[in-house]
Amino acid sequence: MRYFLGWLILGILGFTLLTACNHHTFQNISSLPKQPAAECRMVKHTMGETCVPINPQRVVTLSVSTLGNTLALGVKPIGATNEVQIDNNSLTYLQEKTEGIKLLGISRPDLEATLLLKPDVIIGLDWFKPIYPLLSQIAPTVLDKSDYANWQKHLSFVTEVLGKQKTEKALWQHYHQRMEQLQQALGDRYQNKKISFIYIGRNQINIDAKNSYAGSIIRDAHLQRPAPQNVDAPYGAFPISLEELKKADGDILFVTTFSKSGNEFLKNKQQEPLWKKLKAVRNNQVYYVDFMSWAASNMLGTDAVIDDLFKYLVHTP
């Protein structure tokens, strides 16, 4: 099972049809006069090497993880896609920061709208390989490997593209400072307790492994996971059946859903005897958190997850 945004990649496979659907756009792009080359530097990415502007001013991002990292680095894109705006979920931790950014599409970008924005660089993930030739004719385009189990690498990639190494260093200093504050506030009260995190959607219960985005934050807080969750997994997660629900047990259970069907599925499972037998359920220590924050896979979302750890583990009696 892929990481909890991984199922969205299946939709990206539809991009193989996108070139045909955007033939007119391709002709429009191809007919544009070439702009004089500005001063630039070479960046290696999944499609090769591309020369990007030294100080890009009109950035377009093609994933939420890219958008969050770009904003965290102090650059506000002029346009972005949002592959996780599903069933009226909103990017709660980004809301105030995205005002004025043009939404270019859910999952796949509207190429004509992107063209009209006249970006000087486009940054995305390798989901977009099928339309890379079109994107690269609009502006220098760089695509990073989509690796949700190593979100830190994508931050470094966006940092390199934007030339914001000093800002990235400050972001990590802030992150580690908050972690130290959290650890001090927690003290030793969770020394012998296990922290479980599951997410639910589309009739499936999924365990968030230790190498996931949220799993890495929980690990950095020096909190322990239940043995079945204290493992690495492809894309940072794996599914379980209702009969395997014991793998979700812990002293504390964080739960999130990412769709209306997931909400209904969870509501039904909460009536099951196996759910009611979970230790966290019996002790009333189940906490429901925002999917968008706990699935952010970018530096900007870390504060939201750490805030929740403070809220439920420090400030909750």
Judge whether 46 and 62 are in contact, CB under 8 Å: no
Under CATH, which number does the domain 171-314 receive?
3.40.50.1980
DSSP for residue 194: B
Tell me the pLDDT tens digit for each residue of 127-172: 899 999 999 999 999 999 987 778 999 999 999 999 999 999 999 9
CA atoms within 13 A on the CB side of 266: 18
Does 8-163 match 171-314 in CATH topology? Answer: yes
Q: Where are the domains of the chain?
A: 8-163, 171-314
Per-residue pLDDT band at 18 (split at 50, 70, 90): very low
For residues 244-271, one letter each, b for 16 or more C-beta atoms within 10 angstroms of the residue's C-beta and e for the rest, the string is ebebbbbbbbbbbbbbebbeebbeeeee
DSSP sequence for 97-140:
G-TTPEEEESSS--HHHHHHH--SEEEEEGGGGGGHHHHHHHS-
Judge whether 10 and 25 are in contact, CB under 8 Å: no
Under CATH, which number does the domain 8-163 receive?
3.40.50.1980
Tell me the pLDDT tens digit for each residue of 223-280: 999 999 999 998 889 999 989 999 999 999 999 988 777 788 888 888 999 999 999 9
Judge whether 58 and 117 are in contact, CB under 8 Å: yes
